[in-house]
Amino acid sequence: MNRLALPLIVTIASAASMALEIVAGRMIAPYVGMSLYTWTAVIAVVLAGLAVGHWLGGVLADRGAARAWLLRVLIAGAVTAFASQFLLRWLSAPGLEAFAPVMAVLVLTGVAFFLPSLFAGAVSPLATFLALEAAGPDAQGRVLGRMFALGAAGAIGGVLLGGLVLIPWLGSALSVAVIAAAYLLAAALMVAGAMRAALLVLSALVGFSGVAFGASWSVCERESAYFCIRTDTLAPGVRVLALDHLAHGINDRDDPLRLHSPYIALIDEVARRRFGEAGPRAAFFIGGGAYTLPRAWATRWPDSALTVAEIDPAVTAVAGDALWVDAAQFTVRHADARSALRGEAGPFDVVVGDAFADVSIPPHLVTAEFYEEIAARLSPDGLYAMNVVDLLRHPRFVTSLAMTLRQEFDSVELWLDESEVSADEKRVTWIVLAAAQGSAVGVIEADDIGGRRWVRVDLDGMLRVVAASERMVLTDDHAPVARLLGPLLLEQRFAE
C-alpha cells in the first residue's frame, strides 16, 4: 500500500463523516423540522458514534489484521451512510408515533446516523495504528501529529463541503450517495487488482444511482441551503407551500384575496380597518414564504409599496413557479430580515412578522433591539403584526414577546381565532399586534371563508397566569426561544 494512502484515507473518512453530519440536518428536517432540538440531536449522535468508533477501532487494531479491519470499516461506513436516507423514510412515521417528540427526534437521528459515525470513528485509530507500524521509532510522534492534523483538516473540509456545496447544489439524496462513494474510494486505496476495480465500479454505481434516482428518493421537490421545499394541491386552483415539515401559506390561483389561513386573514382585516380603501402607503414583510399576504395586498392596493425580506431565493422561485406569485409586484430582498430592514429608511405603515416555523423561531427577530428598529421605521399610526404558535393556557413565549414589545409600543394586543379558544390545554396560533394606539374593539368579524371571528385576549390577565419566573424581556444578549417554547409545546404537539 502506498505510504500516502493511510493519511488520505483518514482525511477522506473525516471529511465524509462531517459532511454527513451537515447533510443529516437537512435529511431529518422534513420529518421533525429544523430547530435547536434537531441540531442538538444530530451533533450528540454523531459525537457519540465517533467516540464509540474510536474505542472500537483501537480494540480491533489490538486484535491484529488491522488492515483487513480498516477495509471492512470503510465499506461498512459506505453502506450505513447510504442506508440512512431509507431508514429515515421508513421509520419516521412509526418513530413519531411511538415516542414523545423530543425523544423521537433523538431516536430517529440515532437510528439513521449513529452507525455511519461509528464506522467513521473507527477509521482513524486503525489507520494510525498501521501508520505507526510502518514508521520507525524516531518518527512516531510526527506520524501521530500528521494523522490527527489530517483528520481535523478533513473534518473542516467536510463541514464546508456539506454546507456550501452538497446541500445547495446536489440535495440530500445525491449528497449521501457522494459521501458513500467517497468511503468506497477510500477503501479502494487499500487494495489492488480486481478488488480495487470492483470498489471503483461500485463507487461509480453508487454515485450514478444518486444522480439517477436522487429526485425520487427525496421527499423534497427542491432543496436549498435553508429548506426542504414542497408544494401540494389542496383543491383545484389551491396550493399549499411546505418548508421542511410545515405549511407556510395557501394560495388561490383565481382569487388572491381569498385568504385561507386565519392569522393572515386577521392581519388583512386589521389593515383594512386601520387604513381604509387607500390601504397602507408602504409595508414591510419579514418572511415571504408563499407570499400570500403580499400577493393579496398587491391586488387590493396596487399603489402600495410592498417590500418582502425572504432569505431564501429558492422559496421565491418556487412561489413564482407553483403558487402564481408575480414577484414583480413588490420589492424582494433576499437577505436576513433584520439586515434588510436596517437598509430601509421607511416609514412603513405596516410591518408583518411571518418568518417563524413552529418552534423554530430566529431569536434575533424577537428581541427588544429588533423591535426598536421596527418602531423607528413605522409611521406614527403604523402597525406591527406577527403570528406565533404557543400554548393556549400557558403561553410562556407569547407573554415574553408581549413584554418585549411593550418596551417600544404603547399598545400590545393578543388575538385568537375564535375556533381555537377552548377549555383544553393545546397549542394555538396567536396573532400579536403592536402600535401606538390599540384597537377599539374586542371582537373582529369577517365575511370571508366561513364568516370567521377573532377575539382579543386580555394581556394583563395572561401575564398574571404565567408566572414572572417563566417569562422575560427578550434581548440580543438573552433570547431563550427554545427554552420558552420547546419542551411544553412539543409535548402538546404530540398529544394532539
Can you list the domains of the chain with their CATH numbers?
5-219 (1.20.1250), 228-495 (3.40.50.150)
- Looking at every residue in the chain, the average pLDDT score rounds to 90
- For a pLDDT cut of 70, what percent of the chain falls above it? 95
Whole-model pTM: value is: 0.86
Residue-level pLDDT at 116: 96
Grade residue 496 by pLDDT with cuts at 50, 70 and 90: very low
pLDDT in tens, 385-403: 999 988 888 899 999 999 9
Taking the C-alpha atoms of residue 99 and residue 494, their distance in angstroms, rounded to an integer, is 9
Higher-pLDDT residue of 235, 100: 235
Q: Does 371 have pLDDT greater than 50?
A: yes
- β-partners of residue 306 are 283
CB 477 within 8 A of CB 467: no
Higher-pLDDT residue of 101, 79: 79
Residue-level pLDDT at 2: 65
Taking the C-alpha atoms of residue 363 and residue 478, their distance in angstroms, rounded to an integer, is 9
pLDDT in tens, 254-284: 999 999 999 999 999 999 999 999 999 999 9
Higher-pLDDT residue of 200, 358: 200
- CA angle, 425 then 430 then 432, to 5°: 145
Grade residue 492 by pLDDT with cuts at 50, 70 and 90: very low
pLDDT in tens, 113-154: 999 999 999 999 999 999 998 887 778 899 999 999 999 999
Taking the C-alpha atoms of residue 364 and residue 362, their distance in angstroms, rounded to an integer, is 6
